[in-house]
Amino acid sequence: MFSVQFNTTDELPEPSPNLINQVIGQDEAVKIVLSAVKNKRHALLLGDPGVGKSMMVKAFGQLLEHSSEFKPYSLIARPNMKNSEKPIVDLIEGRMIEETIQTQNPKLMRQPPSIFTLLLGIIVSSLVLSYILNGLSDPSSKFAVIAAISVIGSLLVFLILFLNIFGATKASMPNTVSPADVKPVVLYECKKRPLVRASAYNTTKLLGDIKHCPLGGKPPIGTPPHKRVILGAIHEAHKGILYVDEIKTMPVDVQDYILTALQDKQLAISGRNPNSSGASVETNPIPCDLTLIMSGNMDDASNLRAPLLDRIDYKVVLKNKMDNNQENRDKLLQFIVQELKNNNLRPMTYEACCEIVKMAQLLSGSKNKLTLRLRQVSNIIKMANDIATGKELAESIEEMSEETGPELTVKPVEKPGEKKKTKKIMKVVGKFKPKKSEDTSHKKIVSKAPVIEKEDETVISLEHINEIVNTGIYSMTKQVAIDYLKNFKRYKNIVSNDVPKTGVIHGLAVLGADGLGDVTKIITKIVKSKHPRTNLLNISGDIAKHSITLASALSKKLVSDGTLSIAKAKGGLSKEDLDLAEHEIYIQFSQSYSKIDGDSATAAACLSIISSLLNIPLKQDFCITGSLDLNGDILAIGGVNEKINAAKEYGFKRVIIPQSNLEDVIDPEGIDVIAVTRLEELIPLVFELDNL
């Protein structure tokens, strides 16, 4: 299976710390995207979930950390004294130093006098008043001076008290600004070449925003606009890489902003919410000279607008399968070791690793391929580790009960001064301890050896992997399939290896993308009718009607023109029998509750119709799957291994599959697998011709 022999994965070398070496099966894509990053070209990664798109970008980010060409920079926001709704964002090259930020010197606000100033003024006024009164001899003049000063002093005291106690607002003093409202704000410090990740649907995170201020957004009550600026990922990725995932969720207006940023290499920030106080605020264009990498599933590219898609230089499609050879099996083993190491899991046995390879074959749908949807494989490994290190439910409940039970003792908390007192008391008590008797012959001497804790020898074995696979907890569709088969299989009227029957055949289908195979009984009845038409009776549910139409048309053609040897073997058909326009064809997918009938059932349906038309029984010891075209060729289908396993489960002796699917069969043991290419090859295999 592998190029190395081992008992457990502990014997294998540890994975490389470089993430670029941990990307499995995407060597060609890695080279292309690495060239794009090096030459500052934009790239689009398309592929199935779990094939390594995010892992690849994360590896590029690790490489960027060691870039020597990058120069640090900082982004600061400062107010615009001419228009407060247009804050200014500046880029400062080099390491940001506090002294480099030049604070503007606006006209400062006149602050009201303090209480100490008031007391000092009263004292000085009293001294001046005493001096003036001493120089006046006329009592009326003294009274007039005292009255005038008292009125002026009362007004001054009232004004000062009003400003200090009731708080006159800054708005009452025009053309004045607080020093705190004009201090620049550091928005972002970039010390290494950045790799910024953002989701396509989060507009604020991607493009930036202006915070809402419930107090109007203007000084002196509200927060000034330059302090409410939020940088977007597109600005933080300046001189680096911006990675945008899940492009299917990207709104059209966001695509327009990204297109503008790629064209102009700068983008202003404005309020995104029209009901916010930041809606009227917009900064100057902020530099965003970056390399854009976007990723999504195969069908997500249709969501991108053509102008933006044209701006993407590299469109890379990641593989979802790799060849099943020695080199790639070793790579899959490397992936297993990586997952065990990176997630701190228990080691895995050789047999369990071989089972993971078989699972990779099954998930790929072919024995000659291995899946590259490695996230699903990783989930199986993690869950197997949980089972290997887990305990029975009763043991877990018992442990939790012991931890929370009344036996749990709580250590009393000593006060700082009590610790020293306790030590002194223990010394005194030690002096009164009785001396040990020298005669210790009657006592048993027990030597206390150091306790050596045994290492946890738990490993992930083949049984743990099989338990995960059999329960299907790694896939929702497989769990649904298991539940369906468990509940309805015993109700299905399917008898394997029964006596030959006319118009009855057993087809094969798969429940769900990662589900299980199942056997479906197909029954056809043909009756004569005075009205020339063909009816397709669907009792079982939602079938592919175009497939049944094709099977019906093909069977009529082959029987009516006599090209099938089976018609000649029957001695030919009467003219009335050949007049198929006066026959009604009824087809039933018996007890097909899961809607699993479709294109792969056309071969089975066609044989069932032919059997009913010629009244020749079909053997019941086989299942068949395959798609037909109008030329009678049997075409490839999907899920061949799941279907073969279903035929085994029901106990059939034979299974008939398309020739093109033969190389995909992983485990043919236990059943006779027959591969065919044309409909004529099926006649001697499926019909009971001995009694003709």
DSSP per-residue letters across 181-218? GS--EEEEEE-S--EEEEETT-HHHHH-EE---TT-SS
Asked if residue 226 has pLDDT above 70, the reply is: yes
- The answer to whether 1 touches 355, Cβ cutoff 8 Å, is no
Query: Which stretches within 373-471 are classed as H helix?
Result: 374-389, 393-404, 418-431, 462-471
What DSSP letter does each residue of 353-399 carry, written as one string? Answer: HHHHHHHHHHHHTSTTEEE--HHHHHHHHHHHHHHHH---HHHHHHH
Residue 80 in tokens? 């615009």
Q: What number of other Cβ atoms are within 10 A of residue 66's Cβ?
A: 9
Lowest mean pLDDT among 134-148, 158-172, 241-255, 358-372: 158-172
What span, in angstroms and rounded, lies between the C-alpha atoms of 314 and 294?
10
Give the pLDDT score at 369: 92
What confidence tens digit (pLDDT) does each residue in 38-66 have? Answer: 889 999 999 998 898 988 888 888 887 77
Q: Give ∠ CA 72-74-80 in degrees, rounded to 5.
A: 155
Cα–Cα distance, 60 to 210 (Å, whole number): 31
Which segment of 155-164, 468-477, 480-489, 611-620 scores lowest on mean pLDDT? 155-164
Class of domain 491-686: alpha beta
pLDDT in tens, 321-357: 999 999 999 999 999 999 999 999 999 999 999 999 9
pLDDT of residue 395: 63
The least confident of 14-18, 98-102, 527-531 is: 98-102
Average pLDDT, the chain: 79
How many other C-beta atoms lie within 10 A of the C-beta of residue 189?
A: 13
List Cβ neighbours of 39 (8 Å cut-off, separation of 6 or more). none
Classify residue 460 by burial, with Cβ atoms within 10 Å: 0-12, 13-18, 19+: buried
Six token digits for residue 330: 């070793």
pTM of the prediction? 0.72
Q: Name which residue leads in pLDDT, 104 or 496.
A: 496
Highest mean pLDDT among 138-147, 158-167, 393-402 belongs to: 138-147
> Which of 93-97, 433-437, 471-475, 652-656 is the most confident on average?
652-656
pLDDT of 474 above 80: yes
CA atoms of 323 and 27, how far apart (whole Å): 13
pLDDT confidence of residue 542: 46
Give the DSSP letter of residue 23: -
More confident residue, 108 or 507: 507
Tokens representing 256? 């327009």
Peptide bond into 225 cis (omega under 30): no
Fold of 73-101+192-317: Rossmann fold (3.40.50)
Least confident of 78-92, 163-177, 341-355, 436-450: 436-450
Q: 88, 80 in Cβ contact below 8 A?
A: yes
Q: What is the DSSP code (8-state) at residue 39?
A: T
pLDDT digit string, tens, across residues 248-292: 889 999 999 999 999 999 999 999 888 888 888 999 999 999 999
- Parts of the chain belonging to CATH 3.30.230.10: 491-686
What angle (nearest 5°) sits at the alpha carbon of residue 590, between those of residues 589 and 592?
75
Fold held by 1-14+321-397+457-474: Helicase, Ruva Protein; domain 3 (1.10.8)
pLDDT of 409 higher than 80: no
Q: 432 pLDDT exceeds 50?
A: no
Please pick, among 364, 600, 611, 612, the residue that the annotation labels catalytic. Answer: 600
CATH 1.10.8.60 positions along the chain are 1-14+321-397+457-474
**In DSSP terms, which residues pair with 567 in a beta bridge?**
none
Say what percent of the chain tops pLDDT 70: 68
- Would you say residue 161 has pLDDT above 90? no
643 is catalytic: yes
* Cα separation, 92 vs 72, whole angstroms: 9
Residue 582 has a CB neighbour count (10 Å cut-off) of 14
Q: Kindly indicate the confidence band of residue 200, based on its pLDDT and cuts at 50, 70 and 90.
A: confident
Position 137 pLDDT exceeds 70: no
Residue 519's identity, in one-letter code, is V
Give CATH 3.40.50.300 domain extents, the chain: 73-101+192-317
Q: Where are the alpha helices (DSSP H) in 561-687?
A: 565-569, 575-578, 602-614, 640-650, 683-686
* Axis crossing angle, helix 139-161 with helix 115-134, rounded to the nearest 10: 170
DSSP 656: E
510 DSSP β-pair partners: 517
**Across residues 155-160, what is the average pLDDT?**
68
285 vs 267: CA distance, rounded Å: 5
Query: Regarding predicted confidence, which is higher, 538 or 46?
Result: 46
Q: Check if 600 is active-site.
A: yes
3-state class of 436 per DSSP? coil
Question: For residue 437, is pLDDT > 50?
Answer: no
Residue 527 has pLDDT above 70, yes or no: yes
- What tens digit of pLDDT does each residue of 601-657 get? 888 888 888 888 778 899 999 999 998 887 888 999 988 999 999 999 899 999 999
From the candidates 239, 478, 619, 643, give the one annotated as an active-site residue.
Answer: 643
304 burial (CB, 10 Å; 0-12 / 13-18 / 19+) is: buried
Give the model's pLDDT for residue 102.
Answer: 53
Looking at the chain, the whole-number percentage of residues with pLDDT higher than 90 is 33
Going by pLDDT thresholds of 50, 70 and 90, the confidence category of residue 243 is very high
